[in-house]
Structure 1
Amino acid sequence: MSIFIIGEIGINHNGDLDITKKLIDGAAEAGADAVKFQKRTIDNVYTKEFLDSPRESPWGTTQREQKEGLEFGLEEYRQIDAYCREKGIEWFASAWDLDAQDFLHGFDLKHDKVASAMLTNTPLLEKIAAKGRHTFISTGMHTMDEIAKAVEIFRKADCPFELMHCVSTYPMADEDANLRVMETLRERFGCNVGYSGHEVGLTVSVAAAALGASSIERHITLDRAMYGSDQAASVEMGGFNRLCRMIRTVEKALGSPEKQIGEKEQAIRKKLAPVNG
């Protein structure tokens, strides 16, 4: 089974469809399988007090103006949907509230995503699982018992899923990756396990692929110096292209668990075999 590679656009588009299309172009050219966004209903996710509080941003001086500046609506997602189909790449998104999930269910998508922060939001998980789309479930910031409760919801609904090992620091230090948890999750829950990374470099993600990740998700950006809270934990498009190539190389190199002597090696064996062997 091929590793499913996801370019996480998230909110790195900064509310700009031109930036979004360039990120989709880059992900498609790199050979990624999908791009992913984040969808919020602002007044459901945040309190009025928080939204009215001050925050300087390119869109104004309040938290509301900043949050609304980063949020795409129906027309933008219709354009994203059409553009991804044109480019031959899938898209999906992680919802942060029930209305946002209803919004996403209005599109003919193959996948859903549970963001780490939403792992214990039982009504949201039940809504996602009831739809029955293959769901990627990120596990950052949560205990094994909390993960088990989420898994139970998806198994009860007979909804296909895979877990994604994740460490929710932005950016994540390489030494905090704890990739061996991937095997722990596989053994405990008997399911595929991917990796959602927030590190700066590429090595940890390549290592996750070598350890059997079923999916790899990385935030992507046009420029890590751009405005935005996720930009510093993202990979620029040149790096993402290299990452996709390395993951595909790892897939080929992993091969089969069966010990084999191929035609090329047979020829060398014949050449180097001892005379009286």
Structure 2
Amino acid sequence: MKIGNCDLNDQCMIIAEVGQAHEGSLGTAYAYVDAVAETGANAIKFQTHIASEESTKEDKFRVNFSKQDATRYDYWNRMEFTREQWVELANYSRSKGLVFLSTAFSNKAVDILYEASCPAWKVGSGDLLTLPLLDKMVEKGGPILLSTGMASWKEVDEVYQHLVRKTNEIAIFQCTTDYPCLPTNWGLNNISAIRERYNVPVGFSDHSGEIYSGLAAATVGVDLLEVHVVFSKKCFGPDTKASLTIEDLASLVKGVRKIETAKKHPVDKDKMSAEKKELKTLFSRSIVAARKLKKGHVITNDDLQFKKPNLGIDAKYYKKVIGRIVLDDVEKDQYLSESELK
């Protein structure tokens, strides 16, 4: 699968999820693009909300965090950008070398993001089974990226079977809808389970607020890694505790790339051992005399010491030396050799 300029066969696609961290400010959204571009992440992702298209007045806050929005509907309304603004933001993101993504929360949002040339469709966990929305995404073309944060296997099976009849460009994300998500709920075991069950690219959508889960997911092996980002842990917003700072994101990207390099270069223990022959001599030990030994002396355990470098009989053979007879005088710290022993 290829998304924008990112080929998942080459490397894990690291997606920086800004979400609503821009607080409805277009200028702040652009500032996030600039900051994310400097971290080496592959993509930046927003959320395209249109209050009148997705919510009613009964839409409740997950966390009643806002001091200026009386309802969640009001909050989504405050987060909106115009069609033209989304197109310009997408173009600016691409000019910075980033793949532009945004989660569409309505059919109208899909239309807007299609005009913005969004190369793939990220589906939030809450919309996993909103099949009319998914069908519209399929009609527009491009990979479908499914988050499964609240889903059972039966539900994931259902949406997969619905989509696979229409498209073979599907990626499924292991995700747990906890903010922040503790290690007990990361669900790393589901990464391989998803791959085996559906034979699709697998993502990990992280809400831990730290880099460790992302590094663990990269080690287990994911094709896409999505993390929330904020400028500071003191920023306002419902996802701040579950987000990385820009500095954290840069560290995560660096770590993931190192992990990828390591996984592409398996170490052959025998070949490595042969290459380290000189070091093995320097750091391993030989048998030496613990004291001066007279000719004819029968060696006991107390007569032996084991010192570096390894220029004589290897220390591992010490039991084969005990009980043997010294053929000539041996000085203290002298390496024992087979030719001097009977």
- One fold, TM greater than 0.5? yes
Matched, 1:18 2:27: yes
CA contact (8 A) 2:49 2:77 kept: no
Higher Rg: 2
Matched, 1:127 2:136: yes
CA contact (8 A) 1:154 1:160 kept: no
Residue 191 of structure 2 is matched in structure 1 by 182
What secondary structure sits across from 1:148 in the alignment?
helix
* Counterparts of 1:194 and 1:130, CA distance in 2: 23
CA contact (8 A) 2:87 2:115 kept: no
Aligned residue type for 1:136: L
Over 3 Å counting, the alpha-carbon distance change for 1:145 and 1:105 in structure 2 is same
Over 3 Å counting, the alpha-carbon distance change for 1:47 and 1:208 in structure 2 is same
Matched, 1:82 2:94: no
* Counterparts of 2:230 and 2:279, CA distance in 1: 51
Residue 268 of structure 1 is matched in structure 2 by 276
- Which of 208, 217, 224 in structure 1 is aligned with 2:226? 217
Over 3 Å counting, the alpha-carbon distance change for 1:97 and 1:246 in structure 2 is same
1:78-125 per-position Cα deviation (integer Å, ceiling 9, x unaligned): 221221122111111111122211221122222111111110111111
Residue 77 of structure 2 is matched in structure 1 by 68
Over 3 Å counting, the alpha-carbon distance change for 1:50 and 1:86 in structure 2 is same
What secondary structure sits across from 1:105 in the alignment?
helix
Matched, 1:98 2:143: no
CA contact (8 A) 2:91 2:116 kept: no
- Which of 217, 242, 257 in structure 2 is aligned with 1:233? 242
- Which of 117, 126, 129 in structure 2 is aligned with 1:117? 126
Aligned residue type for 2:231: L
1:205-232 per-position Cα deviation (integer Å, ceiling 9, x unaligned): 1000000111100001112222211122
Structure whose residues are more often helix by fraction = 1
Q: Which runs of 5+ in 2 are unaligned?
A: 1-9, 282-309, 312-342
CA contact (8 A) 1:137 1:163 kept: yes
Q: Which runs of 5+ in 1 are unaligned?
A: none
Matched, 1:39 2:85: no
| Deviation at residue 266 of structure 1 after TM alignment | 4.9
Over 3 Å counting, the alpha-carbon distance change for 1:62 and 1:125 in structure 2 is closer
State the TM-score, normalizing by the size of structure 1.
Answer: 0.89
| Deviation at residue 156 of structure 1 after TM alignment | 1.0
| Deviation at residue 178 of structure 1 after TM alignment | 1.7
Residue 261 of structure 2 is matched in structure 1 by 252
Aligned residue type for 1:244: V
CA contact (8 A) 1:126 1:153 kept: no
Residue 202 of structure 2 is matched in structure 1 by 193
Matched, 1:208 2:227: no
What secondary structure sits across from 1:195 in the alignment?
strand
* Counterparts of 1:164 and 1:56, CA distance in 2: 27
* Counterparts of 1:221 and 1:151, CA distance in 2: 32
Aligned residue type for 2:136: K
| Deviation at residue 13 of structure 1 after TM alignment | 0.8
Over 3 Å counting, the alpha-carbon distance change for 1:143 and 1:270 in structure 2 is same
Aligned residue type for 2:175: C
**Number of residue pairs matched by the alignment:** 272
| Deviation at residue 10 of structure 1 after TM alignment | 0.8
* Counterparts of 1:70 and 1:81, CA distance in 2: 16
Over 3 Å counting, the alpha-carbon distance change for 1:145 and 1:64 in structure 2 is closer
